Amino acid sequence: MSALLEVEGLTTTFPAGSERVPVLRDISFQLHAGRCLALVGESGSGKSMTALSILRLVPRPGRVEAGSVRLDGRELTKLSVPDMRRVRGREVAMIFQEPMTSLNPVVSVGQQVVEAIELHEKVSQKAARERTLDLFRRVGIPDPEARFHAFPHQLSGGLKQRVMIAMALSVRPRVLLADEPTTALDVTVQAQILELLRELQAESGAAILLITHDFGVVNQLADDIAVMYAGRIVETGQRADVLRGALHPYTQGLLRALPGRAQSGERLLEIPGRMPSPKDVPAGCPFAPRCPEATPACPAWSPRFTEVGGRKVACLMRESRGELG
Amino acid sequence: MTNHRLLGLADGPLAGAAFGNVVVACLLALAFAIFWYCRKNEIWRQALGEVVSRRRFSVLVLSLYVALALADSVSWVGGSGGEADGVLSHEARSLVDRFFSGSTEKSYSAPLATAEFYDRTPLVRSRGHVLGTNILGQDVLYMTIKGAKVALLIGGLTSLIAIPLALLFGMVAGYFGGKVDDLVFFVMSTLASMPSILLLIALIMVLGQSTLSVCVALGVTSWVSFCRLARGETMKIRELDYVVAARALGASHAAILWRHVLPNLLHLVVISFVLLFSSLVLAEATLSWLGIGVSGSWGQMIAQAKDELSRDPIVWWNVTAAGVAVFVLLLAVNRIGDALRDVLDPRTLGEGR
Amino acid sequence: MVAYIVRRSFYALLVVLGVLFFLFVLFFAVTSPDDIARRAIGDKALPQVIEQWKHVHGYDRPLWPGPGHATDNLFVEHFERMLTFDLGKSDADNVPIARRIREGAGPSLLLTVPMFVFGLALSILVSLFVALFRETYIDRAGVLVSVLLMSIPMLLYIIFGQFLLSKVLRWFPLSGFDPEPAVVARFLALPVVIAVLSSLGSSVRFYRTLFVEEIYKDYVRTARAKGAGEFRILHGHVLRNALIPIMTDVVMTIPFLFTGSLLLEAAFGIPGLGSLTVDAVNANDFSTLRAMVFLGSLLFIVGQVLTDISYTLVDPRIRLQ
């Protein structure tokens, strides 16, 4: 199955003093129709920036320095601005983490969804309104006619997120970038939203890039996983494989640290140290300073993937041993 | 107007000089206090250092003005040269006065000219005056430099008094709420309801025209906006988690105000001080135009000079000197204020203690 | 909503009373009627002359309420008269103040309304333009120019404006006023131009900050992700949000359209309410000054109430609680 969205060598930089510091280094992954790839990592690893870079929404003064993003073979990084605008929302849509601030506070939620439709399709006001109401029903917003005229502050977090989802899916995009869609919500609402996303994906066959730091969320929605650390992807693979037996020492550390895996009475295992900020990323393998398996050769090694049966891992130790950990 | 019943105390010649010396001493003490605080507090040291490095030129300009003002504030009696000005030698004269003594002409002279402007008689000071002389024959450069002290007095001293008072009232009102807040809010609303220029005029008409009364009037009309700001912020700070925690731990109100509320208001104090300075100098200029400003200010120089531009040939140096002086000062202050506002953004300054 | 308006208006009334009290203290207690008389007639006047003057101008009653004259005193009279808009007569020439105010309102409005309209339109356009190009040279230049414009006192604008545009270039008359519709614009043009220019700096600075702050907000990012272009974002999203604080700022200044600009009217010889005030200062005319401050305050208070009410009407977050 060929990929719907192919990201290769994506590098995004921000200025710091007189130089430019990469916050994304050589990011490569693929999204397939009907499947969900979870992009997992700590805050600051570059997950959100990846999504923004795909849509070319990196805030100034940052910019995408290198790499390619191909949607169905079309190179997005080379598109003109008007063409890129046609892609945004229509072919690749994004939903954000904080529904409270991500919706315009002085425009009704219904009107905001209508705007999303009107930006890409020539439909009458009435038709757009009808479609919005349908969308509201589909995403589970009760009493859609009344809610159409509501303002964001009048809705709960869960409802706002449903509005965001409705807005994102209004023109039936093929790729959905979901940046921590449930992080700001209650746990119970979280499950509902993820369930909704799963249903919608099954219906539309869209590809989803799910950005999250929560393995619980990964478990509920993801088909594949890509783990990010300090601006790089360190491991990819199918969800079950990775969760059952992670290859990269960082992933292993993350999974070991989950409370669910600890024995009672045991101290929770943690990865010593902290993830470096983009300015302080060391040469070679970025995880080497904290890695229990590191050797002196690691800081000198240029990170690249070792492919083992459909899974990829960027670790010198795995590369030299050529095995499944 | 000669009604100094209330505020005419400080207007004899020696009293004015003593006042100036006291002000200088206070300002130096204040500067010391600021430096000492910065040495102890890392965040402030970094922030102020950042502002200085971004606006080196403006800071330099401001320092120059301050130096000139200080030079004009240190005065003492005695020394030679007094008689040449027709002034008795027991009047206190400042460094600036002494530097420029002996250079009064009869009337106008152009910059660097060697003869009077209108009747072409030779000048008392044969080399001429760098910026010319005004209608009374006074050296324009001298008047301009003296104006620096007036401007800094109006802007700086008034703010130094108005802002701490406004801070006190605002903090107390915002923190304690209830009847105290109601009262302060009512007084604030009442004062704020009177258009400031009209209130200023009214106050000066009533209090007299001495420097002190103008400063008091300016202070009364300008403390409200900062007080409102301080009150609003204090109400927000009061609800912050660590303040609530401090209360739960039994800290006294005074301790909380001093240790938690006040440090979080300091950045507003600094920014407001700088912005207020600007608006006060501008307000005084307006008052001078109306004839009720502070004597010796640049505003007065400009007001007096407004007819000069319509003479033929025009007399331009008076108004230009004063105009440039006030413009450069305000520009420097505004630029510093902008940089302060950017650097002291609470998001970048970090939480209080 | 109605309850709010009622409450707000009642508080405004309280403030009006507070202002009247303050004015009384200032104009009758701090400066006694004797002082006012002396300033009008001269310091060396004989006591009888002073009493006579006070009698003519109505100042010869006790100041505060007391036994025997609970209502026949200046304090109560002050409140009664001001609250019924009986503004009395000028201390200087005994002309009814209300008449002067009626005569002066017209010219003041002719000056302030165009000043307001053009100033607002220009400020918003320039700020939008600068905000559109934020973080580029245009933006930096715009901010610098704004700060520059802000640092020039109005005095200098007037002097150099008159000098340059009137004397040297002869585009406008130096001063004066003629209400004939055909020529009135000529006399108002220069003051309006100067007024707009002098306030442009601080307005643009303020509005630009508002616009840029909105542009950096999350919902603008969402709009971009939907595929909206810069223009649509500016007018459909940023403006709608930024106009709320701008509008409340603006509604606040509407009452001042009436009181006129003191400096401009004095400098350009426009016989409006500003000139009236300036003349009162020069003539030591306390009663006119009192009336002007009261009028100004009243308008200010009305403006504040209108602002608060409009805020609740326009911002849906407040309207629908």
Is the pLDDT at B8 greater than 70? The verdict is: no
Using the 3D structure, point to which of A172, A195, A221 is the last residue of a domain.
A172
Q: What is the pLDDT of residues A249-278, one digit of tens each?
A: 899 888 888 777 667 777 777 888 888 888
Nearest-CB residue to B309 (from C30, C163, C296): C163
Domain check: are A60 and A204 in the same one? Answer: yes
Q: Please say if the pLDDT value at position A323 is more than 60.
A: no
Q: What is the mean pLDDT of residues B120-131?
A: 73
pLDDT of residue B78: 66
A101 and C CB contact within 8 Å: yes
A80 touches chain C (CB under 8 A): no
Nearest C-alpha neighbor of B156 from the set B306, B342, B31: B31
Looking at the fold, whether A182 and A263 belong to one and the same domain comes out as: yes
Q: How far from the centroid of its chain's Cα atoms is residue C151's Cα?
A: 20
A244 shares a domain with A153: no
Q: Distances in Å between the alpha carbon of C29 and those of B13, B134, B179, B187, C310?
A: 30, 41, 27, 19, 38
Q: Cβ distance A297 to A303 under 8 Å?
A: no
pLDDT at B351: 36
Give the residue from A203, A154, A149, A213 showing the smallest Cα distance to A176: A203
Supply the range of the domain harboring residue B154: 139-343
- Determine, yes or no, domain membership for B240: yes
Return the structure tokens found at C190: 């220069």
Whether residue A293 lies inside any domain: the answer is: no
Window 125-184 of A: residues touching C by CB (8 A cutoff) are 151, 153-154, 164, 167
Residues A161 and A185 in one domain: no
The CATH code of the domain that includes B264 is: 1.10.3720.10
Mean pLDDT value of segment B218-226: 88
Domain CATH number, residue A53: 3.40.50.300
Give the mean model confidence (pLDDT) for residues B234-252: 87
Average pLDDT of span B299-319: 79
Residue A325 has pLDDT above 90, yes or no: no
Q: What angle do CA B291, C290, C297 make, to 5 degrees?
A: 100
In order of B55, B302, B329, the CA distances from B61 in angstroms are: 10, 21, 7
Instruction: Please list every residue in chain B whose beta carbon sits closer than 8 Å to the beta carbon of residue C168.
Output: none
- Does the pLDDT of residue A39 top 90, yes or no? yes
User: Quick check: C218 and A115 CB within 8 A?
Assistant: no
Average confidence score pLDDT of chain A: 89
* Residue of C164 and B311 predicted with greater confidence: C164
The residue with greater pLDDT, B88 or A251, is: A251
Q: Which of C249, C251, C255, C253 is nearest to C210 (CA)?
A: C249
In the prediction, which pLDDT does A222 show? 92
Any CB–CB contact under 8 A between B206 and chain C? yes
Half-sphere exposure of B309 (CA within 13 A, CB side): 22
- Note whether A113 and A241 are same-domain residues: no
Residue A63 has pLDDT above 80, yes or no: yes
Q: What is the mean pLDDT of residues A223-232?
A: 93
Rounded to an integer, what distance in angstroms lies between the CA atom of residue C219 and that of residue C233? Answer: 10
pLDDT of residue B79: 62
Tokens 């036994």 correspond to C67
Overall size of chain C counted in residues: 321
Bridge partners, residue A238, by sequence? A224
Q: Does chain A touch chain C (at least 3 C-beta pairs within 8 Å)?
A: yes
Residue A93 contacts C, CB cutoff 8 Å: yes
Number of domains comprising chain A: 2
Q: Does residue A278 form part of some domain? A: yes
Is B163 among the domain residues?
Answer: yes
A304 in a domain, yes or no? no
Shared-domain flag, residues A186 and A166? no
Instruction: Indicate the residue type of C88.
Output: G
Helices (H), B239-309: 241-248, 253-256, 262-289, 298-304
Task: Answer whether residue A151 is part of any domain.
Answer: yes
pLDDT bin (cut points 50, 70, 90) of residue A87 is: very high
Q: Which residues neighbour B81 within 8 Å (Cβ) at sequence distance 6 or greater?
A: B98, B101, B102
CA A62 to chain centre: 19
Bridge-based pairing state of the strands A311-313 and A36-40: unpaired
- Same structural domain, A82 and A105: no
**Do residues A199 and A213 share a domain?**
yes
- Cα angle, residue A52 at apex, residues A152 and A280 outer, rounded to 5°: 120
Are residues A136 and A151 both part of a single domain? yes
Q: Among A172, A200, A227, which residue terminates a domain?
A: A172
Does the beta-carbon distance from C15 to B288 stay under 8 Å? Answer: no
Tell me: do A109 and A69 sit in the same domain.
Answer: no
**pLDDT digit string (tens) for B35-54?**
787 777 787 888 888 888 88
The answer, yes or no, to whether residue A110 has pLDDT greater than 90, is yes
Q: Are A234 and A227 in contact (CB under 8 A)?
A: yes
User: Is A299 inside any structural domain?
Assistant: no
State which amino acid sits at residue A309: G
pLDDT at residue C267 in the model = 83
Q: Residues of B with CB below 8 A from C262's CB?
A: 197, 286, 290
In chain C, how long is the greatest CA-to-CA distance?
Answer: 84
Q: A184 and A281: one domain?
A: yes
C31 neighbourhood in chain B, CB within 8 Å: 3, 205-206
Cα separation, C300 vs C274, in Å, equals 16
Q: Cβ(B271)–Cβ(B337) under 8 Å?
A: yes
Write out chain C's pLDDT in tens, 321 residues: 778 888 888 999 999 989 888 888 888 877 777 777 777 777 777 888 888 877 877 777 777 777 776 777 777 778 888 888 777 777 777 788 888 888 888 888 888 888 999 999 999 999 988 888 887 888 889 888 998 898 888 888 888 888 887 777 777 777 777 777 777 777 788 888 888 998 899 899 889 988 988 888 999 999 999 999 888 888 889 988 988 888 877 877 777 777 768 888 888 888 888 888 888 888 888 888 888 888 888 888 888 888 888 877 878 887 765
- Look at residue B270 and tell me if it is in a domain: yes
Round to whole Å and give the CA distance between C170 and B84: 46
**pLDDT of B12 strictly over 60:** no
Interface of B with C in 276-295 (CB under 8 A): 278, 281-282, 285-286, 288-292
Cα(C174)–Cα(C168) distance, integer angstroms: 11
pLDDT at B9 over 60: no
- Identify whether B33 is part of a domain: no
Q: Given this model, what pLDDT does residue B352 score? A: 31
pLDDT on residue A28:
92
Q: Would residue B150 count as lying in a domain?
A: yes
Quick one: how far is CA B167 from the chain centroid? 18
Work out the angle at residue A224's Cα, subtended by the Cα atoms of residues A222 and A230, and round it to the nearest 5 degrees. 100
Domain membership flag for residue A297: no
Chain C, 72-131: which have a CB under 8 Å from a chain B CB? none
Cα distance between residue A86 and residue A82, in whole Å: 6
DSSP type of residue A289: G
* Residue B2 resides in a domain: no
Interchain CB contact of A60 with C (< 8 Å): yes
Chain C, nearest residue to A89 by Cα:
C226
* Chain B residues near residue C259 by CB distance under 8 angstroms: 195, 198
Q: Let me know whether A73 and A194 are in one domain.
A: yes
Q: Give the residue on B whose Cα is nearest the Cα of C300.
A: B193
- Among A47-51, A187-191, C134-138, the range with the most confident prediction by mean pLDDT is A47-51
Strand (E) or helix (H) holding C281: helix C273-282
Q: Which helix (H) or strand (E) holds C83?
A: helix C74-83
Which chains have 3 or more CB–CB distances shorter than 8 Å to chain A? C
φ, ψ at B102 (rounded to 5°): 80, 25
Q: Which of A112-126, B110-124, B234-248, B264-278 has the lowest mean pLDDT?
A: B110-124
- B193 domain-assigned: yes
Residue A237 CB: number of other CB atoms within 10 A?
Answer: 24
C120: Cβ–Cβ under 8 A, 6 or more apart, which residues? C203, C250
Amino acid C223: pLDDT: 93
* CB pair distance less than 8 Å for B282 and C14: no
Three-state secondary-structure class, residue A269: coil
Burial class (CB in 10 A: 0-12, 13-18, 19+), A143: exposed
Positive/negative CA dihedral, B81, B85, B89, B91? negative
**Cβ neighbours of A59 in C, within 8 Å:** 216
Chains A and B touch (3+ CB pairs under 8 A): no
DSSP for residue C92: T
Facing residue for C154 by CB, picked from B193, B286, B306: B286
pLDDT of residue B202: 86
Which of A125, A155, A172 terminates a domain? The answer is A172
Q: Do B319 and C304 touch (CB under 8 A)?
A: no
Q: Which domain does A277 fall in, by range? A: 5-91+174-286
Classify residue B308: in a domain, yes or no: yes
**C291 has a chain B CB within 8 A of its CB:** no
Which of A99-113, A118-132, B309-323 comes out lowest in average pLDDT? B309-323
Number of domains in chain B: 1
